[in-house]
Each structure stands twice: as C-alpha cells, then as structure tokens.
C-alpha cells in the first residue's frame, strides 16, 4: 500500500516539479546574466504581462480537460476588443451639451457588461457549432477563428481604435502601492479554476468527459450541457481578457490578440494538461503560463534577440510533451 | 475421393493473456472441398481462420500449406499463396467503382502509368459475367444493395486467383436468391479445385453446401465428420459438449412465484429491425438472462432500455408506475444501472482513480447545487464500497487502468451500487475475466438478487446463464423468441432457440 502511494506521489511530482525546476533555472540564469531581471518591478511586470494569457489559458485549459480544443480564442478576444473600443469611443464622442450626455458617464460600465455578454454569446455559439456539427473541435474552431477575425476586420475596417486615458483601470490600474489590478484578476481566476476543477461536480464531470466520453455519457452525465458550459466559460474569460488587454494596450486592432490562441494552448500543454483530455490541474495551467511568460521576458532582459522567443517556446513544448509521453508510457 | 490436403493445421496453439484461444488444434482442408467450421461464440473458429489468413501469428504448432511447412506466415504470404477471406462486414471501398474495387491491389495501367479505367471495367465485366453476377462494374459501390455488395466481395476474392476461400457468415442478411447464386458459385469453383472454409451459425446451410464439418468448443476440436454421416442434433450436442458441473450455485434458488414481489414490466421495446417488439417482466430478486447469438439484438435492447439509443417504442413499468428512461441521465435518476459490454470503452474512465470512478454516478444523481465536494468523505465512502466488493487495489487512489479485468468490473459495479441502483443490467459481465474473479462476480450478482434488486444478465456464455439465472429469454433476429424457466433451462434449449432449430428434437430431453 505504501509503495504504490509513494510511486503515485513521486510520479505526480515529476511533471509539476520539473516545471518548477525549469522555471527556477530560468530565473537564476536570467538573474546572473542581468540582475535587473530579479527586481520586484520586473517580476511584477512579468506577472502583469502574463495575466491576459493566464486568464485565457484557464478557460481553454478547462475545456481541454474535457477533451475539447478552442483555437479561436485569439480571434474572439480581438473581436471583443474592437467592439468594446467602438462602444467606448461612441460613448465619449457624445457632446457634453447633448440631451443624452448622461450616457457618457455610463459608457465604461456598459462597455464592460456588453463585452461580457458578447463573450458568453461567442462561447455559446462556438460550443453550439462544435457540438452540432459533430466535427472535431480543432477544425471547427479553426474555421470559426477565421470567421471571428474576418468579422473583426470588417467591423473595424482594418483601422485601430485608441482609448488612451478613457479606460485604464483594468489594464494599468494599481492598488495597494503598486499591485496591478490585472494581476489580482489573474490570481482570482486561477483560484477559481482550482476550486472548480477540484471541488465541484462540474469539474469532476469535465475530467470524466475528457477521460472517457462514452463512459461519462453512460454514467448519466449530460455531456452536451457540460461541454457547452465549458465553451461558455471560455467566452466569458476571453471577455475579461479582452477588457484587460485593451485597457492595458490602449488601442484595439483586429489582430491585437491573434497570438493568444497558440500561446494559450502552448502554456497549458507545457503545464501538463493532456491534449486528449481527462488530465491536468489549475496548478499545471498556472505553471505553464508562467514559463511561457518568463521565456519572453528573460530573452529581452538577457539581451538575446527577442525573435528567438518563438523558437524557444516551440522547443519547450516539444520537450515537455515528449517528457509527458515518456512518463506516461513508463507505467 | 482421393483428394490431397491443400492445408493442414497441426497441433496449433494460440494464447491470449489469460485465455488459451486454440488448444492444439488439428484441422485439414482438402483440395476442392467445402469445409464447415461451427461452434459457439468464442469457440476459436475466428482465431483459426485468422491464423490461416496470416493476420494473427500462432504460438506453437505447424501450418502446412500445399505440402510444405510455412515459416513466417503473414498476410502477404497468405495472399500470395491465394488465401482470400470474405468477412461478415462489408469491406469494399464505398466511393469508387465495382471494377476498381475488384482490382484494387492490381489495377491495370496505361503505358504512362495511369490507371486504365476502361480496361479495368472491361476485365471486371468479363469476370462478373463468368461468375454469373448481374452487376455492371462501372457502378459505384455505394449505390449497390447489400446482397450485391456481398457478391462483389466474393467476386473480388475469386479475381485474385484464390485457392483457399474463407467465408465468414456469408449468408447473413442474404435473401434466398442471393444465397442460391452464392452456393452455385461455390459449387462451380469447387469443381475447379477451390477449397472453401465455411463458417456459419445456420446449420441447415451446412448440409446444403458442405462436404465435411468440424466442430469447435472452447478452443478445441471436438470432431470432424462428413455431413452425410451426421445430422443437426449431433452437431448441436457436440457444440455444447458434455454438460459440465454448474459453474456456480445460487444461494437462494427457486423463486416463490406466488409471493407478491414487486414486478418490473418491460413492454414493446422496438427499434427498426434491430429490436422487434420485445416484452418481458422481472420480479424483485429475480435474475433474468438474455441469451442469443452475437448480433441478435440483446445489447441493442439494453441500449434502448437505458435511453442510450432512440427507440421507436417501449415502456418500463414498476408497479404500474412509468419509469421509462428518456436518457442515461434519466435512467440513473430512476435507479437503473448498466454494466456495458466493453468496460474499457464505455464503463470506466481508465486514467482516473478507483475513487473517482466509483463516485461518478453518485455525483450525477445528487441534486444540483449540492455545494462543494467533500473529498475526505468521498474517499472514505468509496473505500467502503471498494472493500465490500473486495476490489483488489492498494488504495482507492490507484488508477483503474492498473487493475485486472475482474477488479475493473467490480469497480464498474461499485459505481452503480454506490449510486444505489435498483435495476441492474449486466452485458457480458465476465468476458475477459479470470476464473477466480468470475465466481466473485457471480457471488455479487447473487447477493444483489437476495437484496431484492432487479437483475438482467446478457451473456453469450450459455453455461453462465444456465447456472446463474432464474429465467432466460432467448433472442433471435431482434425478437424474443422464447422464455425458459425452471427445469426447461439448459444449454441445449438455449442453443436450439438461438439457432432456430427448435423443430429438431434433441436426444435425451
């Protein structure tokens, strides 16, 4: 009894521990090359930079645990960014002496609410198409990503919307002497993901559907409904990510968030969420996001060509997936 | 007849983990003969023909083809020699023409290396004409009827200059005409030296078309005889073998039929031609068996009952209360449990722990908004379930994939028991399970019946049904053709009704 317990815990440690080692190794090397790396301000900066990726990755990660993939997230975030920026721009354009000038004050709350509603709707729509087309979610969301991106370009006519000074709280705001609001959201979402996955029936159903969809169905789980909720959560978290991202960047463009689709997937796979579903934790998502964020920052700080980021991240994904596969097959 | 053997299997053995599929089989096929291979499900027929076709290797013994011992016998060698198999299921490529299918492995080409379609169709028409098959070869396979597809599959086998033809249930879903065309073909080619191995559950056909018949049982050859020297009921007897001791003795047996136990009525379950108007009833504490050949509609019926597949009709009444499940979720809420045929495919989340698997249905059943999971309590409770079923696992945190088949099956059962299921359907409960665990499973089923649950067991293992069930319903072609009870229950009866040879009086009954 003791033996298998030990065996299990040591195996479990393997994946997360490896990541922790890699992360610490990276921090140490980067700090030696450039001591500025380890400064609190830089670390806060890194966390702030990865908060958007982290929020997106939590949604996609939970979905991947249920065995579904969504690679339209980047386009979803871009589309919502455009819509939100347009709402805000309109709201602030109302002349102060117009009859509906009172609306200006309500622009920001309305834009936030509208973005969340649009996010939920995009998730619902994506989920609906994936479930009812019965095709693989990879192909369907690849196509939908193209649709969303096209819509974003159409609506924005390819131009950008500037929001400087109008909406800064979520992306640039700080509380308690320099703690960025976006980091608080990031940490809260990770905590929420942790609780959902570990302590709720919904979380357990996600794992079961991802682990064996047929067995979950025969056990009475409404696989369609649970999968749909997974997609809606992705949409909602994307909306939050769009709010923070646009607020931080200050401009919205139809291609602003393009890279997030693959970065989010990379982060959760590096973290150890099984690409076929059924396995992974909030901690693995968090560590994966942290690693991806650190790599980008470390390259800049170490004065290495930042274009190497793509090569480095790709290499890390391949190594971690190979390692995951190996530790899986050892059994 | 002074025929020479074209194929000899000498003392062939084949082991799979935990089972011996073939136990020193001797089998001989003469040139130009049609040789029937019969036996119950799992007797080893398929294993033997797959070995002959080279698709699976054998462990010990010799395969002598055309007088020489074969080493490294694989699919390529088999095809090279001329072994062709026509499988029960359609194996043609649907989206291309009949002609291309027939010559798929050897398409005629033009001098530039492209496929010469017109030549291909010409050759195919020639072949089909010679075989007397009235299908034009430029048609797409997907436009053919089932019978035409079967005939084309056979034509394809002939086109490859077959010397040994293996037909696996060739007449399943063939009508009388199709069957006659097929038999005519077989007779004609046999005269020209083609040797045929004919697998069928339709024993009457064997007397029409075959010269010799070999009976398999439990991986062993029981007999080989000329059909002229035998008859249907001696074959049935040989398929069953000597009646062995009962596998298992029930603790409480004869049910007191007068007792006012609760009755569960299943009425008019139908879907297309798979399940045709099946009705039966069970009393609390009764174990009801569903027998029949593979494909007779038993699993399909269970899927209808449990709400997995759409049904045309069917209701379940418990003491006049309608409890028909509309979906698996509904079934779970109404106290149904279903241990599916393939526990790895649809029974367990293999990569998850014993604890997570056992508690799954219970979680589904709990009312919504039941708050957070209490992991400590869950661990304690699932451990109690696991211990009460005697699941051999170091802890409930062990992943199910690491357990043996018997213990995995206990985990599936535990899942339904933890959710307090009251009506439990077992589909092939002991397939792939070692002997020791089998008797554990029987004991558990017996215990559940004693607790007053409703139990349905679907099994192709007839001795199992005979020793465990109070009543047995037999299905054939989607219909419930017979119910056996009390002293009527015997392997002979089950087999007779499953095969549809009830008219034949079996000796000694």
> Which of B340, B349, B394 is the closest to A211 by Cβ?
B349
pLDDT score recorded for residue B367: 65
CB proximity list for B420: less than 8 A, separation 6 or greater: B335, B365
CB proximity list for A87: less than 8 A, separation 6 or greater: A107, A110, A111, A114
Q: Do B349 and A200 touch (CB under 8 A)?
A: no
Report, as an integer, the average pLDDT of A213-220: 93
Query: Which has more pLDDT, B365 or A330?
Result: B365
Q: Do A278 and B338 touch (CB under 8 A)?
A: no
Full DSSP string of A258-298: TTHHHHHHHHHHHHT--TTSS---HHHHHHHHHHHHHHHHH
pLDDT score recorded for residue A226: 94
Q: Do B395 and A3 touch (CB under 8 A)?
A: no
**pLDDT tens for each residue of A271-291:** 888 888 888 899 999 999 999
Shortest distance, CA B16 to any CA of chain A (angstroms): 21
Q: Is residue B394 a contact partner of residue B404, using CB atoms and an 8 Å limit? A: no
Query: Which has more pLDDT, B465 or A8?
Result: B465
> Which of A4, A221, A278 is the closest to B352 by Cβ?
A278
Q: Does B349 touch chain A (CB under 8 A)?
A: yes
Q: Does B347 touch chain A (CB under 8 A)?
A: yes
Q: Do A5 and B308 touch (CB under 8 A)?
A: no
Q: Is residue B125 a contact partner of residue B118, using CB atoms and an 8 Å limit? A: no
Residue A87 C-alpha from the chain's centroid: 24
Contacts of A212 in chain B (CB under 8 A): 345-346, 348-350
pLDDT score recorded for residue A77: 94
Q: Do A3 and B394 touch (CB under 8 A)?
A: yes
How far, in Å, are A3, A282, B150 from residue A13 at the CA level? 15, 15, 56
Query: Which has more pLDDT, A327 or B464?
Result: B464
Q: Does A218 touch chain B (CB under 8 A)?
A: yes
Q: Does A208 touch chain B (CB under 8 A)?
A: yes
Contacts of B360 in chain A (CB under 8 A): 204, 208, 216, 219, 221
Shortest distance, CA A2 to any CA of chain B (angstroms): 8
> Which of B340, B352, B394 is the closest to A4 by Cβ?
B394
Q: Is residue B93 a contact partner of residue B141, using CB atoms and an 8 Å limit? A: yes
Contacts of B397 in chain A (CB under 8 A): 5, 8
Residue B173 C-alpha from the chain's centroid: 16
Q: Do A219 and B364 touch (CB under 8 A)?
A: yes
Residue of B349, B391, B416, B427 best to disrupt the A interface, most CBs of A under 10 A: B349
**pLDDT tens for each residue of B266-289:** 999 999 888 999 999 998 888 999
Contacts of B364 in chain A (CB under 8 A): 201, 205, 219-221
Contacts of B363 in chain A (CB under 8 A): 201, 204-205
- pLDDT per residue of chain B (509 residues) written in tens, 0 to 9: 456 888 888 998 988 766 678 888 899 999 889 999 988 777 888 889 989 988 888 888 888 888 888 888 888 888 888 888 888 777 788 888 888 888 887 777 777 778 788 888 888 888 888 777 788 888 888 888 777 888 888 888 877 778 899 988 887 666 677 788 888 888 888 888 889 999 887 788 888 889 999 998 888 888 898 988 888 878 888 887 765 555 566 665 555 544 557 889 999 999 988 899 999 999 888 899 999 887 788 999 999 999 999 999 999 999 889 999 999 999 999 999 999 988 888 999 998 999 999 999 988 887 655 678 888 888 999 999 999 988 888 889 988 988 878 889 999 999 999 998 999 999 988 877 776 678 888 989 998 988 889 999 999 888 889 889 989 999 988 899 999 988 888 888 888 888 887 554 444 43
Shortest distance, CA B372 to any CA of chain A (angstroms): 5
Residue of A211, A219, A277 best to disrupt the B interface, most CBs of B under 10 A: A219
Q: Is residue B293 a contact partner of residue B495, using CB atoms and an 8 Å limit? A: no
Q: Is residue A280 a contact partner of residue A64, using CB atoms and an 8 Å limit? A: yes
Q: Does B361 touch chain A (CB under 8 A)?
A: yes
Q: Is residue B166 a contact partner of residue B83, using CB atoms and an 8 Å limit? A: yes
CB proximity list for B468: less than 8 A, separation 6 or greater: B247, B248, B250, B287, B289, B442, B445, B446, B457
Q: Is residue B15 a contact partner of residue B30, using CB atoms and an 8 Å limit? A: no
Q: Does A323 touch chain B (CB under 8 A)?
A: no
CB proximity list for A220: less than 8 A, separation 6 or greater: B327, B328, B329, B331, B332, B333, B361, B364, B365
Residue B96 C-alpha from the chain's centroid: 30
Burial of A224 (0-12, 13-18, 19+ CB in 10 A): middle
Contacts of B303 in chain A (CB under 8 A): none
Q: Which stretches does DSSP call E strand in B49-95?
A: 60-65, 68-69, 83-86
Q: Which two tokens stand for residue B350?
A: 């293999």
DSSP state of B112: T
Report, as an integer, the average pLDDT of A35-61: 89
Q: Do A215 and B372 touch (CB under 8 A)?
A: no
Contacts of B334 in chain A (CB under 8 A): none
**pLDDT tens for each residue of A164-208:** 777 777 777 778 777 888 899 999 999 999 999 999 999 999 999
> Which of B340, B349, B415 is the closest to A278 by Cβ?
B349
Shortest distance, CA A185 to any CA of chain B (angstroms): 22
Q: Does B216 touch chain A (CB under 8 A)?
A: no
Residue of B299, B325, B340, B363 best to disrupt the A interface, most CBs of A under 10 A: B363
Q: Does B332 touch chain A (CB under 8 A)?
A: yes
Give the CA angle between residues A11, A12, A13 to the nearest 5°.
90
Query: Which has more pLDDT, B484 or A99?
Result: B484
Q: CA A220 to CA A174: how far, in whole Å?
A: 47
Q: CA A17 to CA A8: how far, in whole Å?
A: 14
Q: Do B361 and A220 touch (CB under 8 A)?
A: yes
Nearest CA in chain B to A328: B351
Q: CA A295 to CA A229: how far, in whole Å?
A: 32
Q: Do A219 and B327 touch (CB under 8 A)?
A: no
Q: CA A205 to CA A222: how far, in whole Å?
A: 9
Full DSSP string of B131-147: HT----TTSBGGGS-HH
pLDDT score recorded for residue B354: 93
In chain B, which among 270-309 make CB contacts under 8 A with chain A? 306, 308
Q: Do A1 and B394 touch (CB under 8 A)?
A: yes
Contacts of B336 in chain A (CB under 8 A): none
Partner residues linked to B65 by β-bridges: B7, B68
pLDDT score recorded for residue B243: 52
Q: Do B398 and A8 touch (CB under 8 A)?
A: yes
Q: Strand B336-339 to strand B423-427: parallel, antiparallel, or no bridges (unpaired)?
A: parallel
A305: helix, strand or coil = coil
Element (H, E) at B268: strand B263-271
**pLDDT tens for each residue of B41-86:** 778 888 899 899 888 888 888 888 888 888 888 888 888 888 888 8
Mean pLDDT of all residues belonging to chain A: 85
DSSP state of A164: T
Partner residues linked to B339 by β-bridges: B426
Nearest CA in chain A to B329: A220
In chain A, which among 186-205 make CB contacts under 8 A with chain B? 195, 198-201, 204-205
Cα dihedral A156, A160, A164, A167 sign: positive
pLDDT score recorded for residue B356: 92
> Which of B331, B395, B402 is the closest to A5 by Cβ?
B395
Size of interface A-B (CB pairs under 8 A): 93
Q: Does B71 touch chain A (CB under 8 A)?
A: no
Q: Does A9 touch chain B (CB under 8 A)?
A: no
Shortest distance, CA A316 to any CA of chain B (angstroms): 25
pLDDT score recorded for residue B94: 84
Q: CA A92 to CA A103: how far, in whole Å?
A: 9
Of the candidates B147, B176, B236, the one whose C-alpha atom is nearest the C-alpha of residue B492 is B236
Shortest distance, CA A225 to any CA of chain B (angstroms): 12
ipTM over 0.85: no
Q: Is residue B466 a contact partner of residue B493, using CB atoms and an 8 Å limit? A: no
Shortest distance, CA B407 to any CA of chain A (angstroms): 16
Other residues' Cβ atoms within 10 Å of the Cβ of residue A176: 6
pLDDT score recorded for residue A5: 40
């Amino acid at each position: 009894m003791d033996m298998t317990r030990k065996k299990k815990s040591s195996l479990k440690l393997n994946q997360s521990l490896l990541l922790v080692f890699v992360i610490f190794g990276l921090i140490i090397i980067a700090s030696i090359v450039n001591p500025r790396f380890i400064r609190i301000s830089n670390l806060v900066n890194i966390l702030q930079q990865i908060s958007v990726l982290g929020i997106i990755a939590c949604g996609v990660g939970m979905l991947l645990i249920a065995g579904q993939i969504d690679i339209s997230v980047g386009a979803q975030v871009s589309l919502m960014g455009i819509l939100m920026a347009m709402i805000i721009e309109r709201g602030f354009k109302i002349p102060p002496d117009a009859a509906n000038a009172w609306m200006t004050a309500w622009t920001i709350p309305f834009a936030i609410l509208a973005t969340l509603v649009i996010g939920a709707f995009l998730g619902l729509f994506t989920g609906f198409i994936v479930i009812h087309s019965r095709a693989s979610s990879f192909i369907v969301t690849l196509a939908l990503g193209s649709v969303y991106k096209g819509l974003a370009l159409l609506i924005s006519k390819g131009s950008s919307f500037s929001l400087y000074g109008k909406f800064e709280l979520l992306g640039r705001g700080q509380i308690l002497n320099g703690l960025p609001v976006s980091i608080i959201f990031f940490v809260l979402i990770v905590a929420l993901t942790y609780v959902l996955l570990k302590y709720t029936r919904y979380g357990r159903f996600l794992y079961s559907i991802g682990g064996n969809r047929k067995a979950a169905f025969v056990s009475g789980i409404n696989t369609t409904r649970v999968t749909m909720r997974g997609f809606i959560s992705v949409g909602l978290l994307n909306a939050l990510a769009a709010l923070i991202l646009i607020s931080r960047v200050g401009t919205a463009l139809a291609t602003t968030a393009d890279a997030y689709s693959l970065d989010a997937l990379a982060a959760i796979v590096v973290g150890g969420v099984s690409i076929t579903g059924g396995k992974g934790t909030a901690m693995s998502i968090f560590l994966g996001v942290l690693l991806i964020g650190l790599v980008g920052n470390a390259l800049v700080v170490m004065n290495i060509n930042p274009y190497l980021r793509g090569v480095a991240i790709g290499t890390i994904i391949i190594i971690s997936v190979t390692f995951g596969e190996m530790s899986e097959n050892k059994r | 007849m002074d025929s020479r053997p074209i194929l000899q299997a000498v003392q062939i053995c084949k082991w799979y983990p935990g089972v011996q599929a073939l136990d020193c089989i001797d089998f001989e096929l003469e040139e130009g003969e049609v040789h029937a291979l019969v036996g119950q499900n799992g007797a080893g027929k398929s294993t033997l023909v797959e070995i002959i076709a080279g698709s699976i290797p054998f462990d010990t013994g010799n395969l002598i083809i055309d007088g020489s011992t074969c080493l490294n016998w694989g699919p390529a060698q088999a095809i090279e020699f001329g072994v062709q198999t026509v499988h029960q299921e359609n194996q043609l490529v649907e989206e291309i023409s009949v002609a291309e299918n027939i010559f798929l492995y050897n398409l005629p080409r033009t001098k530039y290396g492209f496929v010469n379609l017109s030549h291909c169709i010409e050759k195919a028409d020639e072949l089909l004409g010679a075989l007397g098959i009235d299908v034009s070869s430029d048609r797409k396979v997907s436009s053919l009827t089932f019978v035409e597809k079967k005939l084309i599959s056979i034509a394809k086998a002939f086109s490859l200059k077959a010397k040994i033809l293996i037909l696996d249930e060739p007449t399943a879903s063939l009508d009388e005409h199709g069957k006659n065309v097929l038999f005519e073909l077989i007779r004609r080619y046999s005269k020209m030296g083609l040797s045929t191995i004919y697998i069928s559950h339709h024993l009457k056909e064997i007397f029409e078309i075959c010269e010799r018949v070999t009976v398999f049982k439990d991986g062993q050859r029981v007999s080989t005889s000329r059909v002229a020297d035998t008859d249907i009921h001696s074959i049935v007897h040989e398929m069953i073998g000597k009646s062995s001791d009962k596998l298992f003795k029930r603790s409480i047996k004869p049910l007191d039929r007068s007792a006012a136990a609760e009755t569960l009525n299943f009425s008019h379950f139908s879907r297309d031609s798979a399940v045709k108007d099946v009705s039966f009833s069970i009393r609390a504490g009764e174990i009801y068996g569903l027998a029949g050949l593979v494909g007779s509609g038993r699993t399909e019926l269970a899927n209808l009952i449990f709400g997995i597949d759409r049904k045309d009709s069917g209701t379940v009444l418990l003491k006049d209360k309608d409890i028909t499940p509309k979906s698996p979720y509904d079934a779970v809420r109404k106290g149904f449990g279903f241990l599916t045929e393939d526990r790895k495919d649809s029974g367990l989340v293999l990569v998850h722990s014993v604890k997570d698997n056992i508690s799954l249905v219970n979680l589904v059943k709990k009312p919504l908004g039941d708050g957070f999971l209490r992991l400590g309590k869950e661990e304690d409770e699932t451990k109690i379930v696991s211990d009460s079923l005697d699941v051999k696992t170091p802890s409930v945190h062990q992943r199910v994939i690491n357990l043996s088949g018997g213990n995995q099956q206990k985990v599936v059962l535990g899942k339904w028991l933890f959710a307090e299921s009251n009506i439990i359907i077992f589909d092939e409960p002991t397939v792939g399970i070692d002997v020791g665990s089998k008797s554990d499973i029987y004991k558990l089923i017996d215990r559940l019946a004693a607790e007053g649950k409703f139990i349905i067991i679907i099994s192709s293992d007839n001795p199992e049904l005979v020793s465990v069930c109070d009543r047995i319903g037999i299905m054939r072609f989607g219909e419930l053709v017979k119910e056996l009870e009390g002293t009527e229950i015997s392997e002979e009866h089950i087999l007779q009704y499953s095969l549809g040879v009830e008219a034949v009086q079996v000796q000694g009954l």
